């Protein structure tokens, strides 16, 4: 508490409120008033995140990665940058290494579906700048972070859909009446499968950069011109553009996908180009981002469709896949 308020606290009262979101941990808002040494009182808000050990597919140590982040020198990477993470006042790993606790800065800003396209443009550009600067400067401390996620995470994520076989087999049903997804959308995913090796070959030609890998609207806060990111448990090495693909297509407004494509890709490209000469046009780069979106989200939409409990939910997911088809697929 002393650290978060930057003063000496002698007494405190508090109440808690559970915060909701996509995280698998327990996140509580702790708020109240604190009495400080000079006798005055200060109102405060702090976030307490408790994460128990669990295993994410292909990334067994992600459950504790935020602890590793906040107890490392990674925070240096945000110096003098409009893009940063939420401050951590205290990080703790229990003695048997099965649970972490993080006392974090409460961010008061715009997030989720309230983010405007203009705010997302800024987020895209600042992420490009951040990744380009680290790629160019190659700080020593970054090379020593052995717990960062592996560079091939996106490709492994794509391959697991085929290994599961449920979604893979569903769009290839011998009986068309068994599959409710329109044939042209199934054909798109089957075509992507046939081209996947070549698509990944092109992706692997891009620079390897530090990726947040959960860069979607629920984890982005915009406040006073700054972009603040939360949930760093999947951070790791990846290919340039992975975060941008997620920003565009991960649970955003599907009716705005064409606008996101037109505006966010050039913004990110402009940010990264301040540090890296990609030796390609923004149009060529946009084609690779489209491939990333198809590879990352195609089967995911099939999974959403199969998991839908109502016809309204199912129709929404099919419409979302249709928007992906219209904006990112070329035969």
Reduced 3-state DSSP string for the chain: CHHHHCCCEEEEEEEEEECCCCCCCEEEEEEEEEEECCCCEEEEEEEEEEEECCCECCECCHHHHHHHHHCCCHHHHHCCCCEEECCEEEEEECCCCCEEEEEEECCCCEEHHHCCHHHHHHHHHHHHHHHHHHHHHCCHHHHCCCCCECCCHHHHHHHHHHHHCHHHHHCCCCCHHHCCCCHHHHHHHHHHHHHHHHHHHHHCCCCEEEECCCCCHHHEEEECCEEEECCCCCCEEEECCHHHHHHHHCCCCHHHHHHHHHHHHHHHHHHHHCCCCCCCCHHHHHHHHHHHHHHHHHHHHHHHHHHCCCHHHHHHHHHHHHHHHHHHCCC
Q: Evaluate if residue 7 carries a pLDDT over 90.
A: no
Span(s) in the chain for CATH 3.90.1200.10: 110-328
Q: Evaluate if residue 4 carries a pLDDT over 60.
A: no
Tell me which of 3 and 233 has the higher pLDDT.
233
Per residue in 179-215, pLDDT tens? Answer: 999 999 999 999 999 999 999 999 999 999 999 999 9
| pLDDT at residue 205, rounded to an integer | 96
Per residue in 132-170, pLDDT tens? Answer: 999 999 999 998 999 999 999 999 999 988 887 899 999
| pLDDT at residue 19, rounded to an integer | 86
Q: Evaluate if residue 41 carries a pLDDT over 90.
A: no
Per residue in 296-306, pLDDT tens? Answer: 999 999 999 99
Euclidean distance between the first and the last CA atom of the chain, given in angstroms as a whole number: 57
Superfamily for the 110-328 domain? Aminoglycoside phosphotransferase (APH), C-terminal lobe (3.90.1200.10)
| pLDDT at residue 239, rounded to an integer | 98
| pLDDT at residue 37, rounded to an integer | 73
Mean pLDDT of 230-244: 97
Beta carbons within 8 Å of 159's beta carbon, 6+ residues apart: none
CA-closest candidate to residue 298, choices 151, 195, 176, 178: 195
| Measured distance CA(186)–CA(192) in Å, rounded | 10
Candidate CATH numbers 3.40.50, 1.10.10, 1.20.58, 3.30.200; the one for domain 2-105: 3.30.200
Edge-to-edge strand order for the sheet containing 83-85?
Answer: 83-85, 226-229, 220-223, 110-111
Span(s) in the chain for CATH 3.30.200: 2-105
| Measured distance CA(167)–CA(170) in Å, rounded | 5
In this prediction, residue 8 has a pLDDT band, given cuts at 50, 70 and 90, of low
Q: Evaluate if residue 114 carries a pLDDT over 60.
A: yes
**Centroid of chain to Cα 28:** 21
Mean pLDDT of 6-26: 74
Per residue in 46-80, pLDDT tens? Answer: 999 999 999 888 899 999 999 999 999 999 999 88
| pLDDT at residue 44, rounded to an integer | 86
């Amino acid at each position: 508490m002393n650290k978060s308020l930057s003063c000496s606290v002698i007494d405190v009262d508090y109440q808690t409120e559970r915060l909701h979101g996509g995280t698998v941990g327990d996140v509580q808002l702790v708020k109240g008033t604190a009495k400080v040494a000079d006798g005055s009182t200060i109102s405060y808000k702090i976030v307490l995140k408790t994460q128990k050990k669990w295993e994410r597919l292909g990334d067994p140590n992600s459950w504790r990665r935020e602890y590793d982040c906040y107890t490392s020198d990674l925070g240096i990477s945000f110096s003098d940058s409009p893009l940063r993470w939420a401050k951590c006042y205290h990080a703790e790993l229990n003695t048997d290494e099965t649970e972490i606790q993080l006392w974090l800065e409460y961010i008061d800003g715009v997030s989720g579906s309230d983010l405007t396209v203009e705010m997302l443009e800024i987020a895209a550009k600042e992420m490009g700048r951040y990744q380009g600067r680290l790629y160019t400067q190659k700080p020593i401390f970054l090379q020593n972070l052995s717990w960062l996620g592996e560079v091939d995470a996106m490709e492994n994520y794509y391959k697991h859909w085929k290994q599961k076989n449920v979604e893979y087999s569903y769009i290839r049903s011998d009986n068309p009446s068994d599959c409710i997804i329109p044939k042209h959308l199934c054909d798109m995913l089957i075509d992507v499968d046939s081209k996947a090796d070549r698509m990944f070959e092109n992706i692997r030609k891009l620079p390897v950069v530090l990726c947040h890998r959960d860069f979607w609207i629920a984890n982005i806060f915009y406040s006073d011109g700054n972009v603040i990111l939360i949930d760093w448990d999947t951070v790791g090495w990846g290919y340039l553009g992975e975060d941008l693909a997620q920003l565009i297509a991960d649970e955003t407004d599907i009716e705005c996908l064409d606008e996101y494509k037109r505006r966010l890709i050039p913004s990110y490209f402009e940010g990264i180009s301040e540090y890296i000469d990609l030796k390609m046009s923004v149009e060529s780069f946009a084609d690779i981002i489209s491939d990333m979106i198809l590879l990352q989200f195609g089967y995911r939409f099939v999974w959403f469709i199969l998991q839908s409990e109502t016809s309204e939910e199912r129709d929404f997911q099919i419409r979302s896949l249709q928007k992906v088809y219209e904006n990112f697929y070329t035969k």
